[in-house]
A = this chain, B = another copy of it.
Amino acid sequence: MNNFVFYNPVKVVFGRGSVNQLGSYAAPLGTKCLLVIGQGSVRKNQTLDRCIGMLESAGIKHSLLENIMPNPRIEKAYEGIRLAKKHNCDFVIALGGGSVIDTAKAIAAGFYYDGDTWDFFTMKSEVKKALPLMTVLTVAATGSEMNSISVMQNDSTKQKIRAQGHPMFPTVSILDPELTKTLPKDYTAYASVDIISHVLEGYLTSEDENTPLQDGFTESIVKSVIEETRKLMSDLSDIEARSTIMWASSLALSGFTTAGIGRFKFENHLIEHSLSAYHDIPHGAGLSIVIPAWMKENRTLLKNKFEKFARNVFGKQSAEDAIISLENFFREINSPTSLSFYKISNLRELTDNIMECAPTRNLNLERGYVERILEKAK
C-alpha cells in the first residue's frame, strides 16, 4: 500500500426527508446566503420553494444565482462572486447536481481572492480560504458534495479543468434520495456511468497491486451501482435503488477508495472533458463512449487488473470479458458507446485539446495514444 493523507470533514446528512433539516443545519453558518441553482428543475418540482421557505423560517435571507448549466461555465462563478459580495453573503448553498455544486465551490473560493478565480483551475493560485458551503443534492453523479474538487469550463480557452483545495469541502451536504426521483431516465443512466467511472479510473490504473481492501470497496460500488441502476431503468421511483446510488456516488470520489493506491491516471475524464467542452454533451454519456475505447486500447497493458475486474464484478474471466461486460451494461441502460451517436467527427481538434489539457491532470500522454482511443470510440 502507498502512503497517503486522508481527510474528509464533510458532514453528510442522508436520507428520505433529510432536506427538511436544511434550516437547522444552515442556521449556524450565517443569516445571508447565496443560493445557487441550475436551469429550473428545482423550480418546477417545488424543491426551490420548499428550501426557500425553510431558510426563511430559520431567519436566513438569500440571493439567488440561477441558470447554472451542465458543463458549468466560469462566467457564472464570476457572476456569483459579484452577487455574494454585493449582498454580503455569509455562506453559499448549492441546490442541484455536480455543476451547481462545482460553481458554488468556485464562488466560495473566489469570494476571498483578489485575482481571477480561473487561476485556481490553471494552478496559478491555491485556494487559501472560502465561504462556508452547504449542498442539497438533486442529482447523484459527480460526488462533488463530498470532496474539495470543482470542475469548470472556460469557453474562451475551450478548457474544462479542475481545481482542488480543502477550503472547498462542503461543511454540510444534505443527501435526500427523494430529491433525485424526478431525474429522467437518460440522465439517471448517465449518472451511473459517471459514478462507475470515478472508482474505475483509480482501480484500473493504480501502480500498486497490493490494495485488496480498496479494490474490494471499488468492486462493491461498481456491483451495487450496476444492480441498482437496472432496477431504476424499470422503475425510476425505486427509492431504495436511488438511495444506494446516491450514497455510492458520494463515496466514489470522496477519496476513500483511492487512499493508499498510489498514483493513478484520470485519463477517461481528461478525454471526456474535451468532448463536453466542444460538444456540450452530458458528462456521463461522454464517459460511456470513452471508457470502452480506452479499455480496448489498454487491454494488454492493464490485463491483470481487467481480469480481476471481470472476475470480481462480472463473475467472468478474461480482460476481454471485462470490456464486453461493461460496454454491454452501458448499452443496456442506453448510454451511448460511440462518438457517432453525437455525430462527433472533429477528432484532430479534440486530440489537440486533450493534449493541451493533459498537464492540468499531471498526465503525460502520447498523441498517437489519444488518437487511437478516439479512433476506437468512433
Q: Say whether B1 contacts A5, CB under 8 Å.
A: no
Interface string of A229-247 (1 = CB under 8 A from B): 0000000000010011001
Report yes or no: B259 in contact with A247, Cβ–Cβ below 8 A.
Answer: yes
Check B5–A12 contact: CB distance below 8 A.
Answer: yes
A2 to B248, CA, bound (A): 14
Q: Given A14-B259, A256-B256, are A216 and B223 also a contact pair (CB < 8 Å)?
A: yes
Chain B residue at minimal CB-CB distance from A177: B1
Chain B residues contacting A6 (CB-CB under 8 Å) are 11-12, 14
By a CB distance below 8 angstroms, the chain B residues around A210 are 240, 244
Give the contacts of A189-216 with B (CB-CB under 8 A). Answer: 210-213, 215-216
Q: Max chain B CB contacts within 10 Å: which of A211, A217, A248?
A: A217
Q: Does A13 contact B (CB under 8 A)?
A: yes
**Interface pair B223/A247, CB less than 8 Å apart:** no
Give the residues from 130 to 178 in chain A that come closer than 8 angstroms, CB to CB, to chain B.
177
Partner of A212, one of B14, B213, B223: B223
Q: Which residues of B contact A228 (CB under 8 A)?
A: 212
Instruction: Compute how far the CA of A7 lies from the CA of B175 in the bound complex, rounded to whole angstroms.
Output: 13
Distance between Cα atoms of A6 and B240 in the complex (Å): 18
Residues of B near A8 (CB, < 8 A) are: 8-9
Per the 8 Å Cβ criterion, residues 14-49 of A in contact with B are 14-18
What residue of chain B has the Cβ atom nearest to residue A257's Cβ?
A: B217
User: Which residues of A (312-339) have their CB < 8 Å from a CB of B?
Assistant: none
Q: List 13 A-B contacts (CB under 8 A).
A: A1-B177, A1-B243, A1-B247, A2-B15, A3-B18, A7-B12, A9-B9, A14-B259, A14-B260, A212-B220, A213-B244, A213-B248, A215-B220
| Contact mask for chain A residues 295-307; partner B; CB cutoff 8 A; 1 contact, 0 none | 0000000000000
CA distance A151 to B81 in the complex (A): 47
Contact of A213 among B4, B15, B220 (CB under 8 A): B220
Residues of B within 8 A of A18 (CB): 3
Q: A213-B224, A216-B223, A217-B220 are in contact. Are A13 and B5 (CB under 8 A)?
A: yes
- A221 at the B interface (CB under 8 A): yes
A244→B213 CA distance, assembly (Å): 7
- Shortest Cβ distance from A246 into B: residue: B1
A208 to chain B, nearest CB (A): 10
- Give A74 Cβ to nearest chain B Cβ, in Å: 30
1/0 per position for A245-271, CB-CB distance to B under 8 A? 001100100001001100000000000
Is there a chain B Cβ closer than 8 Å to A102's Cβ?
no
Check A272 for interface membership: any CB of B closer than 8 A. no
A227 within 8 A of B: yes
A147 to chain B, nearest CB (A): 14
Which residues of chain B have C-beta atoms less than 8 A from A10's C-beta?
7
Minimal beta-carbon separation of A25 from chain B (angstroms): 10
